[in-house]
Amino acid sequence: MGLDLDFAVRHSGRSAADLSRRDVARVLLAVPSGQALVALSDLRRQLLAAGNPLSATFWESARSILTRIESGAATVGDVQRWLESSGTEPIMLTRSYFLWPEESERGPVATEMYERMVDFLEERVAAGEIDADALTAGDVDARHAYEELQEQWLGTPLPDGRVPNVAVNDEQDQELYAAWDEEEAFALSELRRVLDDLPEPPLPAGDLRTAAGRLRTTLTRPGYPGNVLRACAGLDENGLPERDEDLWLTVAAGVVAPISDLPDEEDAARFFDMEGELSHEDSILASLCAIHHADWLAAVTALVRYGPGVLASPERIARFIADSEDIDVEPDEPEDLEATEMLFSSVTPLWAHLGIVDRAEVLTALGWWGLPKALERAWGGVAPSDD
């Protein structure tokens, strides 16, 4: 199919006279760059004949970016920036870190808000408030004004009371939670399937009592590991479960699925500071949150199969996961093993404090008994006791 004015009209859903810079830019990016370059001059003449010439600055920028795409010199960011310089393309990532979902991943709310934003920007262009030629030329002030205009719109309530950025983020959160719940439910069913074929480990009551006593002391002390374990379990030192089993399983489950951040969680900007460094405790929590359900499943089921005495070091766990028959994994690469090992290097010290592994990182009888129960509790399979 050739790139001509008819194609552009069909692609954008607008008449030739109403095509915007954004419409034409998206049409040019919808076909191979070589094809777009060949058709560029004819398309420009056709639009001129239709009474919609656009500007020389736009056409020069189009030829430049298409040439760079064709030669492999343009980055994704370069192309996005050029598209945004059309004057009516929403900025993908704003200064306040609002991120529009990819077009194929937008839900109904995000799609509606995106279209509303485009309409708003077109109104501002028509009113002369946006200088697209200045944007295309890389004018810093024009770009700043363009960004500020969008920031204000995103944070201003619509007539129906919805705030665009909040509405879009809420929809994404709901989608994320739904996907997370689905993944968690599947992991829980797989855990139970595997455990059904294995003997029930006995409860080492003495070991549990000792570990719980140590835990009660740790959770009342400031600093690591008490602050991390409290955050993981969502506990404070004044509200600990009375029963040792409840306390131990709540904390062990929290390591699998942390419930809260450290007490200064309101300072969330620290996680977005690309140049700053996270604290030791923040890094641990970030690592725990980055471990996938499938990795927990593979690691714990392997340890339970082997039983007490098996080495449970981060290196060994990474290999258990790579070799697991309980999950689908891609052929392991050295960097994948290293990444998994790095994540679990935050886990095993906490396990040692819980008595799941000993000082030599060997699985204990308490870990054999408690790990699958902790995993099940973390994934919603067991409700905390009220006793």
CB-based contacts of 235-238 (< 8 A; 24+ apart in sequence): none
Domain boundary among 51, 86, 121: 86
Q: What is the C-alpha to C-alpha distance for residues 231 and 249, in angstroms, rounded to an integer? A: 14
Task: List CB contacts of 3: < 8 A, sequence separation 6 or more.
Answer: 27, 28, 31, 35, 36, 39, 43
Query: Quick one: pLDDT at residue 1?
Result: 54
**The two structure tokens encoding residue 129:** 């408030």
Do the domain assignments include residue 116?
Answer: no
Query: Quick one: pLDDT at residue 267?
Result: 46
Q: How confident is the model at residue 382 (pLDDT cuts 50, 70, 90)?
A: low
Across 172-181, 364-373, 377-386, the highest mean pLDDT is recorded for 364-373
Query: Quick one: pLDDT at residue 13?
Result: 95
State pLDDT tens for residues 281-317: 999 999 999 999 999 999 999 999 999 999 999 999 9
Between 49 and 276, whose confidence is greater?
A: 49
82: containing domain = 1-86
Between 31 and 385, whose confidence is greater?
A: 31
State pLDDT tens for residues 68-88: 999 999 999 999 999 999 999
On whether both 220 and 348 belong to a single domain, the answer is yes
On whether both 372 and 225 belong to a single domain, the answer is yes
Give how far Cα 46 sits from Cα of 7, 19, 51, Å: 12, 12, 9
Query: Quick one: pLDDT at residue 309?
Result: 97
Do the domain assignments include residue 220?
Answer: yes
Do the domain assignments include residue 187?
Answer: no
Query: Quick one: pLDDT at residue 272?
Result: 43
Do the domain assignments include residue 302?
Answer: yes
pLDDT at 143 over 90: yes
pLDDT at 380 over 80: yes
On whether both 230 and 352 belong to a single domain, the answer is yes
pLDDT at 119 over 50: yes
Query: pTM for the complete prediction?
Result: 0.67
Domain boundary among 49, 70, 86: 86
Do the domain assignments include residue 190?
Answer: no
pLDDT at 216 over 90: yes
Do the domain assignments include residue 191?
Answer: no
Do the domain assignments include residue 253?
Answer: yes
Do the domain assignments include residue 335?
Answer: yes
What's the whole-number mean pLDDT along residues 105-121?
96
Query: Quick one: pLDDT at residue 237?
Result: 64
Beta strand segments in the chain, E: none
Query: Quick one: pLDDT at residue 293?
Result: 93
Q: How confident is the model at residue 335 (pLDDT cuts 50, 70, 90)?
A: confident
* % of the chain with per-residue pLDDT over 70: 91
Domain boundary among 59, 86, 113: 86
Task: List CB contacts of 335: < 8 A, sequence separation 6 or more.
Answer: none
The total of structural domains in the chain comes to: 2
pLDDT at 384 over 50: no
What's the whole-number mean pLDDT along residues 14-30?
96
State pLDDT tens for residues 240-285: 999 999 999 999 999 999 987 665 544 444 444 445 467 889 999 9
Give yes or no for a contact between 368 and 303, defined as CB atoms under 8 angstroms apart.
yes
Tell which residue, 228, 264, 243, has the closest CA to residue 353.
228
On whether both 206 and 344 belong to a single domain, the answer is yes
Q: How confident is the model at residue 330 (pLDDT cuts 50, 70, 90)?
A: low
Query: Quick one: pLDDT at residue 261?
Result: 64
Give yes or no for a contact between 57 and 131, defined as CB atoms under 8 angstroms apart.
no
